[in-house]
Structure 1
Amino acid sequence: MSNPGALNAHVIESPDQLVAVLAAGARPRAQWRIGTEHEKFGFVKPDAAGPGRAAWSAPPYAPRGIEALLRALSAEGGGTQWQDIIDQGALIGLKGQGAAKGGSISLEPGGQFELSGAPLISLHDTAAEMAHHFEAIRPACAELGLGFAPLGFHPTARRADIPWMPKSRYAIMRDYMPRVGTLGLDMMLRTCTVQVNLDFGSEADMARKMRVSLALQPVATALFASSPFYEGHPNGFLSNRARVWTDTDNARAGMPRQFLEDGFSFAVYVQWLLDVPMYFVTRGERMINVAGHSFRDWLDGRCPPGLEGERPTIGDFEDHLTTAFPDVRLKQFLEMRGADAGSPAMMLAQSALWTGLLYDDATLLAAEKLVREHGWDDYRTLRTAVPRQGLDAPWGQGTLRPLAARMIALATDGLRARALRDGNGHDETRYLAPLHEIAAGGPTQAEAFLAAYHGRWQGDVTHVLAEASVV
C-alpha cells in the first residue's frame, strides 16, 4: 500500500480533471520503465528469542522491531539515501533520495516490509536493486535478530499474533474491513504480494494492456502461488492470499468487467472509481475517517460527515486512487497485482513475465489474440478456481498449464525482442527460467512447500520461514 504523498489542493470542478490525472501518465516508449514492489514477512530468529520474543513470531513495531530497522536504514550512507516519512509522530516509511531516488520503503499493516522500487530501464537493473535491498537490511536484521521471508500468506501466525503498525489509514481500514467482507483483516495483516508497475504510451495502449493483463492475471496467480499454509497447517489452497482477496471488499477489488470491454478508457476507470467507497480524507495533519462514503456524492455536493464545507481536490482523488484494489490497478501506470510474494528469482520472474508480454508491440498483439480465444467471463470464473487448484484449474478441454506455457513463450519472445543485455551478454529472458520449469511440469512454490511439509519437514511449517528467508 502506498505511503502518503504531497496533496494537490486544486479543487475538482469536473470529472475531466480526473481523467487528465490518469492521462498524464502516458509517455513515449523511450521513457517506459519497470517498477517492482515486493513485500516480506518479518520473524524473530530462534537464536534471538527470549521473554516476549517467541521464535518465528512477527516482530513488534517497537522495541527492537520494525521501527529500529527503519531507523537503521534511514541512517545508511550518513542519512543521504532515505528521508523519513512520519505519521502522527511515528516513523512509518522512507522516501528515497540521492542514490535511492524514485524508490520508497513502506510498512503494510502487520509490519510486512515493502520496497517500492525505482522506475528502472531493464530487468537487470531490477535484479541489482533487489539484491542491494536485501544486502542493505541484512546488518540491521542481524543486530535485531530478525529474518524476512516473502510468502503470499503468513504460514503460522494467527491474526491476534500480529502487531498493528501505527499508520493512520490502517486504523480506519481496520474498523471498516469487517463491514464489507470476512477476510479483509487477513488481507491487511497476513498477506504479501509482489507487483510490477508498467507504463503505457496512450489511452489506447493503456486499454490494450489492461485487457491482456487483467484477463491473464489469474494465470499469474497460479504460477506464483506460494501460500498453501494457514496457522501451521495446509488448508487446501495453493494461494491462500488469492483466496483472501475473494472476500476482502469486492466493491474495490477483483476483475471489473468494464475494464475488459472494448470501450474501456480513462473516463470509464474514473467513473468506476467514483463509486468505490472512500476510506479517508487528509486535511493538514488530520486524516478524517469517511469510510464507506461516496466520492461521487462528495463531488456532487453531498459532503460526508466531518467534511462540511470542504470541496474535493485533485489530491483527494489521488489519495482515493490508492484505496482501490483491482487485480490490475490504473494510476499513471498499470500495476500487476495478482501474484503471491515468493523467492527473489520468482519475484524477478513476475516482473519479467509482464514486461515481456506488454512492452513489445508484436508480443502484445499476439497476447491480445491469445486472450480473445475465450470470453471475458471465462477469465473471471478462473479467478475463483486458481486459489485452490492452481495450474490444475480447468481451462477449455484441459487444465490451465498449457495456457501458462503459451503466456511464458510469448513473454520470452517479448524480452528477446527488447535485446537488453547485462555485462555478461545475457538478455532479460534469463529471468523467466523458473517459469519455464513450472510450465514444463515442475512444481510451483506452493506445491514444493507442500511436498516438503509432508516429507523432510515432518509437518513443521516453521521450516518454510527459514528456507524462504532472504536475510
Structure 2
Amino acid sequence: MSTRTSTGQDEPVITSIAQLAEPMREGEKPKADWRIGTEHEKFVFCRNDHHAPSYDEPGGIHDLLMSMTEFGWEPVEERTAAGGTNVIAMRGPDGTVSLEPAGQLELSGAPLENLHQTCAETGRHLAQVKAVGEKTNTGFLGMGMWPDKTRAELPIMPKGRYGIMLNHMPRVGSMGLDMMLRTCTIQVNLDYASEADMAKKFRVGLALQPLATALFANSPFTEGKPNGMLSYRSHIWSDTDPARTGMLPFVFEDGFGYERYVEYMLDVPMYFVFRDGLYIDAAGQSFRDFLNGKLPALPGEYPTQSDWTDHLSTAFPEVRLKSFLEMRGADGGPWSKICALPALWVGLLYDQTALDAAWDVVKGWTIDERQTLRDSVPKMGLNAPIAGGGKLLDIAAEVLDIATSGLAARARTNSSGDNETGFLEPLRDTVARGRTPAEDLLAKYHGEWGGDLSRIYDEMQF
C-alpha cells in the first residue's frame, strides 16, 4: 500500500469535481515514454520456528528494514500520536521497500523501460533481502496467502493508516482482515496514451484478470490445511468491502472515461485524511462532503490533490486507475512468476495489434459472463467456465500467443540479443500442463509431503 510522508497542505485546495480527473489526464504519455512498474510482496518468517516476526523484536521487521541501509536504502519515518517516529519504508534507486499490515515486505519497483530491467531489479531486491535475512535469521515466502497462520498469530505493523483500516474492515465485510494480514500479491502498473487508450486497456485488463488469477493461483492452504480453493487470496476479495472492490461493470459502458471513474471513486467511502504527519480517521465518510467543506473528520476544510491521490489508493477493484493502470489479480509467487506477470500484461497492452486481438477475445462477453468467470476462478482455476461454453484453459494458450506477439513486436532485447518473450515461459508451462501452481502444491501436500505443510517453507521460500 502507499507510503505517504508529505502532508500536501501547502497545495491549492480542490474546488470542483472537474479537477479530480486531472491526475488521470496528466498520466497520458506518448508510447515512447511508457514504463513498467512492478510491485511484489512476500511473507517474512523466522527460520527457527516459522513465526511471523513483530516490528520490534530482535531481528524483526524494523531491524530487517534498517539492515537494508548497507545497500544504499534510506529510511522513511512516520510520526506517531505519542510524538515518536517509526520507520515504515526504505527508499532507494529501485523504488520503495515498504511493510504491509502484518509485516509482509513489498518492493514497489521503479518505472522501467523493459522487462529485462524489471527482472534485474527483482533479482537485486531478492538478493538484498536474502542477505539481510542471513543476519536477521529470517526467510521470505512467495505465496498468495499465509498457509498456516491464524489472524491471531500475526503481528500488526505500526503504520497509521493500517490502524484505521483494521478497525473499519469488520464493519463492511467478513474477510477484510484476512486481505490485510494474510495475503500477498504481484501487480504491474502500466501507462496509456489517451483517454480512449486507457479505456480499452482497462476493459481488456478487467475481462482477462481472471486468467491472470488462474495462472498465478498459489494460495490453496489456510491455517495448515487445504481450503478448497486454488486462489483463496482472490476469494477473500469477494467479501472484503463491496463498495471498493469488484469487476466494475461501468467500465464496459459506452462513454467510459476519466470522469466516470471519478464518479465511482466519489462513491467509495473514505478511510482517512493525512494531516500534520498523522492519519485522521474518516472511515465511512464521503469525499463529496470533503469537497463541500463538510467532512465530519475535518469540518470546514477542503481537500488537496494529495488527499485525492490518497483516496484513489483506497479502492481495490481488479484493475485500478490512478495516473496509470494497475493490474491487481495475481497471487504472490516465486521469482519467475514476478517477472512473468508484467510480461503477460505488457505483451497484451503495450502493442496495438496485440491489444486489439485481446479485445477481440473478450468483447462479446456479457456482464454476467464476466462476473461468473471471476466468481468461479478462485475455486476452479483454469477450469472455470467462459462465455459460449468451454473453460478458461481453452483460451489461455491463445491469450499467451497474443502476449508473445506483442512482446516480439516491442523488440526490446538484452545484451545477448534475447527479446522479452522468454519471461512468459512459466505461464506457458502452466497452460501446457493444465495445472495451476496451487494444484502442484496440493499434489505435493497429499503426496511426498505426507500432509506436513511445514515443507512449504523450504519449497516456496526465495
Range into which the TM-score falls when normalised by the shorter chain:
over 0.9
Instruction: Note the 1:50-61 alignment, pairs <5 A.
Output: 55-61=49-55
In structure 1, distance between residues paired with 2:434 and 2:374:
22
Kindly indicate whether residue 445 of structure 2 is the aligned counterpart of residue 450 of structure 1.
Answer: no
Instruction: Note the 1:50-449 alignment, pairs <5 A.
Output: 55-63=49-57, 64-73=59-68, 75-77=69-71, 80-88=72-80, 89-96=85-92, 99-100=93-94, 103-304=95-296, 306-395=297-386, 396-449=388-441
Whether the 8 Å CA contact 1:220–1:339 is kept in 2: the answer is yes
Query: What's the CA shift for 1:83?
Result: 4.2
1:246 aligned counterpart, secondary structure: helix
Whether the 8 Å CA contact 2:190–2:326 is kept in 1: the answer is yes
Whether the 8 Å CA contact 2:294–2:300 is kept in 1: the answer is no
Whether the 8 Å CA contact 1:86–1:93 is kept in 2: the answer is no
Whether the 8 Å CA contact 1:87–1:167 is kept in 2: the answer is no
Equivalent residue, structure 1, for 2:28: 26
Query: What's the CA shift for 1:313?
Result: 1.6
TM-score by length of 1: 0.94
In structure 2, distance between residues paired with 1:154 and 1:136:
22
In structure 2, distance between residues paired with 1:262 and 1:56:
51
Deviations 1:75-116 (A, max 9, x none): 224xx44342334201110122xx43xx10111101000000
Instruction: Note the 1:7-46 alignment, pairs <5 A.
Output: 7-8=7-8, 9-45=11-47
In structure 2, distance between residues paired with 1:369 and 1:87:
50
Query: What's the CA shift for 1:407?
Result: 1.2
| Higher mean C-alpha displacement, 7-16 vs 158-167 | 7-16
In structure 1, distance between residues paired with 2:433 and 2:76:
46
In structure 1, distance between residues paired with 2:435 and 2:392:
14
In structure 2, distance between residues paired with 1:442 and 1:208:
29
2:116 aligned counterpart, secondary structure: helix
Deviations 1:247-271 (A, max 9, x none): 0011001111112223211100111
Equivalent residue, structure 1, for 2:6: 6
Q: Which runs of 5+ in 1 are unaligned?
A: 50-54
In structure 1, distance between residues paired with 2:305 and 2:7:
8
2:2 aligned counterpart, secondary structure: coil
2:269 aligned counterpart, secondary structure: coil
In structure 1, distance between residues paired with 2:7 and 2:35:
25
**Letter aligned with residue 112 of structure 1:** Q
**Letter aligned with residue 327 of structure 1:** E
**Letter aligned with residue 389 of structure 1:** M
TM-score by length of 2: 0.96
Report how many aligned residue pairs link the two structures: 454
In structure 2, distance between residues paired with 1:321 and 1:279:
11
**Letter aligned with residue 132 of structure 1:** R
Whether the 8 Å CA contact 1:211–1:261 is kept in 2: the answer is no
In structure 1, distance between residues paired with 2:439 and 2:263:
40
Aligned-residue sequence identity (percent) comes to 51
Shift of the 58–83 alpha-carbon distance from structure 1 to 2, 3 Å rule, reads closer
In structure 1, distance between residues paired with 2:197 and 2:124:
33
Whether the 8 Å CA contact 1:124–1:422 is kept in 2: the answer is yes
In structure 1, distance between residues paired with 2:175 and 2:79:
26
Q: Which runs of 5+ in 2 are unaligned?
A: none
Deviations 1:323-377 (A, max 9, x none): 1111101011000000001111112111100000000011111111111132233
In structure 2, distance between residues paired with 1:467 and 1:233:
16
| Higher mean C-alpha displacement, 182-191 vs 434-443 | 434-443
In structure 2, distance between residues paired with 1:293 and 1:254:
20
RMSD: 1.2
In structure 1, distance between residues paired with 2:130 and 2:383:
38
Whether the 8 Å CA contact 2:64–2:132 is kept in 1: the answer is yes
Whether the 8 Å CA contact 2:286–2:295 is kept in 1: the answer is no
**Letter aligned with residue 309 of structure 2:** E
In structure 1, distance between residues paired with 2:392 and 2:129:
38
